[in-house]
Structure 1
Amino acid sequence: MPSIYELALGDDFARLHPKIRERFGFSSADGIASFGAGVMDRIWHAKWAVLPLALGATRNIMFPQSGRSVPFKIANYAYRDELGRETVTWNRAFQFADARRRFEATMIYSGERGRIVDYLGNRQHLAVDLDLAVAPNGGIRIRSGEQRFYEGPLGFRFPSVCTGIAEVCEWYDDDAACYRITVAVRHPIAGPVFAYEGAFQAAFKTMSASAIPIGAKPLRLERRE
């Protein structure tokens, strides 16, 4: 079974660095999970964005902390959710001196939209379309697109002027033998909002669907994509 990233990239998936293909190439059929640990060299946020970031932190979506040399962990589990959708978790933890912050998401491939949909946070209230591409260095580039909010019967699309655009690149550094990542969120009018960059190591572990910790999955499931 192809991974959701292979479905999104099609033939371009083969152009990724072998280590990136490995990290983005497993599905629920493989019975494995990926665990990473490293250090984010720099985490930054705009001072004006403290309030919206603090609100997002209540749902494990970004956070109003900045720092350097911040210990980092990430867990990626692949499973089929209760709606039968192939799903991959992105459970990130950042250990600051005075707080531990989480940034969580679950991604699915939407056949209807022809792309990956990223549900940000631990309640899947915010759905974001993702565009994927292969970087010149064999890394994977991810850019956010349309964003939608869902809560009970409520559902609406955010105007582009009200949302930030996220640019992510993850690649493998052969010289340092580690994965590297850069993340930057920018508002189309107000400018830079949030960013981090750093390096980590990752390894795979055998993991059946029944062994995935319940806390690794979202607290609420949204069927709308």
Structure 2
Amino acid sequence: MRLAKFLAHAGVASRRAAEGIVAAGRVTVDAAVVTDPAHDVDDTRDVRVDGEPVAAEPREVWALNKPAGVVSTASDTHGRPTVVELVESEQRLYPVGRLDAESTGLILLTNDGGLADRLTHPRYEVEKTYRARVLPQAVPEQALRSLRDGVDLDDGRTSPARARQVEPGLIELTIHEGRKRQVRRMCEAVGHRVIELERIAFGPLRLEGLDPGGARRLSAAEVERLRKSGPAHAP
């Protein structure tokens, strides 16, 4: 197995981040510094990062219904509550992507760096669905068409999306990108300010049966469906 992949599977970091850790000379294999992320290793090798041994740990994936005011990080220097604190696991979990502090809804946490990379890398186009309550409440069809076709933001045009008005003032939007505060900025671009934002689906997984702040560990079948999410042509 490639060294970067081994580190990702051990929960050290995502595969891309693990490649940087290796390239920085922070990893040893059998006491020798290795800087090639493609270096081949297996469970019999003594792999260490910054001198600390790395061993594959049981991989877990959790779904959390994030409440407002909770930050999507493993720790926070300002003392705010974090999503990791809401999950009862003995493993070192990290959020898969982010929801801003004011937003609520489905967020995944895992110690499987490879899966996290699979779910967040743009080439896999894993869909996320949101419901945004907006002002003004009357959302014309032209605004919905613009959201579907893509809108121009300061960091480029968005990819085509699915958009519909569930009821006056409530838009359901499905995207496969993950730019910072993207849904809020898309709605603002078509003249509507988001006052509440909830993520209701991540790939095939929907926010169902979880109260705000509630979390549950995903089954093996659910994790496998997540691994296979995205277009069939994605590598």
The normalised TM-score by structure 1 is 0.29
More strand by share: 1
The normalised TM-score by structure 2 is 0.28
More helix by share: 2
